[in-house]
Structure 1
Amino acid sequence: MRITVAANDEKQLAELARQLRERSSADDISMLPASLERLLTMAEPGAIDVLVLAQDTLDADDTERLERLGNGLPNTALILVSSQQTPEFLLQAMRAGVREVVASPSSPTTLYPALRRIADKRESRANAGGKVLAFVSCKGGSGATFLATNLGYALASMENKKVCLLDLNLQFGDATLFVSEHKPVATLADVCKQIHRIDPSFLAGSMVSVTPNFSVLAAPEDPSHSEDVKPEHIDTLLKLARRHYDFVLLDIGRTLDAVSVRALDQADMIYPILQTTLPYIRDGKRLLGVFNSLDYSHDKIALIVNRHHKSGQIRLTDLEGAYGTRIHHTMPNHYEAAAASVNQGVPILKLDPASPLSKALADMARELAGPSETETRPGWLSKLFRA
């Protein structure tokens, strides 16, 4: 990788460069004795794979400079070396486009794993297998968990895809209850505590099996166990899941922290779920603003309007005008069927296949899965005319 180290302190700059050169002789290491402000005039798009920046504090001006630097280097991963490690600082850095924060003074035990995660992420993008789809609630009660779990069932049962869902709502996740009556044998926290054991069999055995090709990994039972789930665990889980599942669905919840942001980074598509009421619309706009600050492309965000009424006071065109983007999917309001599905723990497509909500989910699954092999295989008549 092409790695540039930037720091105002020459001693710190030399030490960082030394650690990086000792890590791998294959990396191209360069040094810049420069401040963040000066970097804005020096950085060349496409010339750097990783920028390691030593910066102890981030005020409003620094955050704005980091965002501008990230926009100017869209293909560069930014590692920030800082003595500040508070959750507020880490979230502020991530919103400014930083992908890894390493404690200062740096050491190989902290710097090398950050670089390895970035290298793994670059490799997984180049050799991506299954698609990772993240569902995020714009506001509590939006129906994100219902849509994620039932879409997973639709992809597995109707499109014959191998699907898993990871419940990343670490405080109060209950995705398994939406599609199964079985009690989880293990949770995400249990898996992360034994991450050294992770392999396809261990992961599959830890999940609730809804159908032979759809499984759910439950959120921690106790909210305090959410601390057992680390951002690097998400990297490991998603790397494995991509290789063994056609679709990996993520139920993110509403909390944006280091774990959820790491998951969103890896997602191929992010589906913010909202409803056509002003509180949802306001919170949806805030959420899109956060995604913009995280430098997620517009192509990665696909808005879903749940419980949609065609005759509602707020029209889809009003939403699209407010957000400056189109609504990708609408899910009709069929409260009775949805409530029965949740109360019984039975997917709505199985409980009420004639429901308009079931049909909308089936349509979305069909669109995601793409044409089947038989649909894309040329017929005998087309072969005859090509001959």
Structure 2
Amino acid sequence: MTRPIAFSADPAFFVAPPTPSRRRLVVVAADDRLAALRAAPALAEAAEPVLVALPAASAVPDDALAGADVVVIEVDPADAGSSRRIAEVRASHPGLPVIAALQGADAATMRTLLKQGLADIARLPFDPAELAGQVKAIVNQSAALANGRPLAPMVVMAGSNGGCGVTTVITHLAAALASGGRRVCVVDLDLQGGEVAYYLGREPRVTIEALLDAGDRLDAELLASAVTDSGRGFAVLASPEAITPLDHVDDNRLLALLSLVRREFDFVLVDLPTDWTSWGLSLAASATRVLLLTNPAVAPMRQAKRRLQLFDSVGVASDRVAVVVNRAEHGLFKAIGSDAVASVLEHDILASLADQEDGIVLAQNEGRLLPEIHRHTRFGTDVEALARILTS
């Protein structure tokens, strides 16, 4: 079962695997809500649970939170007292990770709660396995930060619409980043149309599907056996051979996998599907940066604007979203320039990549990158400039 939509604005959202130390979890909710958590093995494996039965609007006594490492608090958005008590806990325990538990919340409510600095949002009625996964993620985040293990930057790239060139850009960008000596990994999460490995002339032996299915067996050694060498200095986690339903992704396993990748590499690029899912939006919200790729044409720009509005509606910080114009025309007679795109989208343009589609198609038909057949091109120069921006 997948997790509910849980948008985190913290780029350290993806965290290291669980540590063996026991943490104290306090769950504050109405007594009938807690019934599902009593004697739940999954929750007990994640932390030492302490269940506190309180009505949704009752204040949380300080002694109930004594020794807590993570706290889950039921919230009724329609009750001002309920919302106020979670703010009071945040104010009195500023270093304590707080998960809000609520039922049937809309995006606006979740955005309001997350702006209060919450660690995550859980779904009511409680699902012990889902809640355990969220608690493990938060516990491991704390452990990773305490151990001084920063996670590598993760840039998520998505297109305004299909066919705007995401795979082309992400492969060339990975090569540019790797040329500076960084260990770079491209994670192809376009589960229904991903072609990253094949664009590079590689046929993967293992795909990301095997890693998502690995469960507790997932470790650095298994990851190393699954990556495909691009032959250009960076690694690829290839998309599945068979089409995978987008809603079949287990969020917890995906989070664990990306955490591992970010600890094993210096820079991570993620290729997302065009169709947005709850897990895709979670990745966007928690990425170091989101690159939204569009073409300078009416239909792609319309779709790009809709996606920018989607990001805003679920609380993805606008300063983490960057628009990149692909297949831009340069010179006096360009049809739609970057300034015009910025005006239409009401969003700054981070970079423009020259239109050299004919040469790129020729290279891809041979399983090569454009610089391998044309050493100096405007597109290649533009991609190198984008790589410098992302690492500056």
For residue 166 of structure 1, what is the aligned residue in structure 2? Answer: 187
For residue 288 of structure 1, what is the aligned residue in structure 2? Answer: 308
Could you tell me whether the CA contact under 8 Å between 1:139 and 1:280 is conserved in 2? yes
Aligned partners of 1:250 and 1:329: how far apart in 2? 18
Aligned partners of 1:348 and 1:31: how far apart in 2? 51
> In structure 1, which of residues 12, 23, 36 is the aligned counterpart of residue 77 of structure 2?
36
Report the aligned-residue RMSD: 3.1
For residue 78 of structure 1, what is the aligned residue in structure 2? Answer: 120
Letter paired with 1:166: V
> In structure 1, which of residues 294, 309, 312 is the aligned counterpart of residue 334 of structure 2?
312
Could you tell me whether the CA contact under 8 Å between 2:26 and 2:49 is conserved in 1? no
For residue 373 of structure 1, what is the aligned residue in structure 2? Answer: none
Aligned partners of 1:159 and 1:194: how far apart in 2? 32
Aligned partners of 1:207 and 1:31: how far apart in 2? 37
Within the alignment, does 1:68 sit opposite 2:112 as a pair? yes
Aligned partners of 2:357 and 2:72: how far apart in 1? 60
The answer to which of 36-45 and 199-208 deviates more is: 36-45
> In structure 1, which of residues 177, 184, 191 is the aligned counterpart of residue 198 of structure 2?
177
Within the alignment, does 1:204 sit opposite 2:224 as a pair? yes
Q: Tell me how far 1:293 sits from its aligned partner.
A: 2.1
Within the alignment, does 1:366 sit opposite 2:376 as a pair? no
Within the alignment, does 1:50 sit opposite 2:72 as a pair? no
Change (3 A) 1:105 1:369: closer
Give the TM-score, by structure 2 length. 0.76
Letter paired with 1:293: S
Change (3 A) 1:276 1:30: closer
Letter paired with 1:54: L
Any idea what SS the aligned residue of 1:306 has? strand
Letter paired with 1:190: A
Letter paired with 2:114: G
Q: Tell me how far 1:53 sits from its aligned partner.
A: 1.9
Within the alignment, does 1:120 sit opposite 2:130 as a pair? no
Aligned partners of 1:2 and 1:79: how far apart in 2? 18
Q: Tell me how far 1:182 sits from its aligned partner.
A: 2.6
1:188-267 matched pairs, under 5 angstroms:
188-211=208-231, 213-224=233-244, 229-267=249-287
> In structure 2, which of residues 366, 371, 384 is the aligned counterpart of residue 344 of structure 1?
366
Q: Sequence identity, in percent?
A: 22
Could you tell me whether the CA contact under 8 Å between 2:72 and 2:101 is conserved in 1? no
Any idea what SS the aligned residue of 2:177 has? helix
Q: Tell me how far 1:124 sits from its aligned partner.
A: 5.3
For residue 63 of structure 2, what is the aligned residue in structure 1? Answer: none
Could you tell me whether the CA contact under 8 Å between 1:163 and 1:215 is conserved in 2? yes
Aligned partners of 2:367 and 2:183: how far apart in 1? 21
Aligned partners of 1:143 and 1:197: how far apart in 2? 35
Number of matched residues? 339
Q: Tell me how far 1:327 sits from its aligned partner.
A: 0.2
Aligned partners of 1:244 and 1:121: how far apart in 2? 16
Any idea what SS the aligned residue of 1:331 has? strand
Letter paired with 1:365: A
Deviations 1:67-120 (A, max 9, x none): 33333x1x21332333xxxxxxxxxxxxxxxxxxxxx3543x442222112333
Higher RCO structure, 1 or 2 (CA under 8 Å, sep 6+): 2
For residue 275 of structure 1, what is the aligned residue in structure 2? Answer: 295
Could you tell me whether the CA contact under 8 Å between 1:332 and 1:356 is conserved in 2? yes
Letter paired with 2:194: G
Change (3 A) 1:116 1:281: same
For residue 354 of structure 1, what is the aligned residue in structure 2? Answer: 376
Deviations 1:282-311 (A, max 9, x none): 111111111112212122111100000133
For residue 17 of structure 2, what is the aligned residue in structure 1? Answer: none
Any idea what SS the aligned residue of 1:216 has? strand
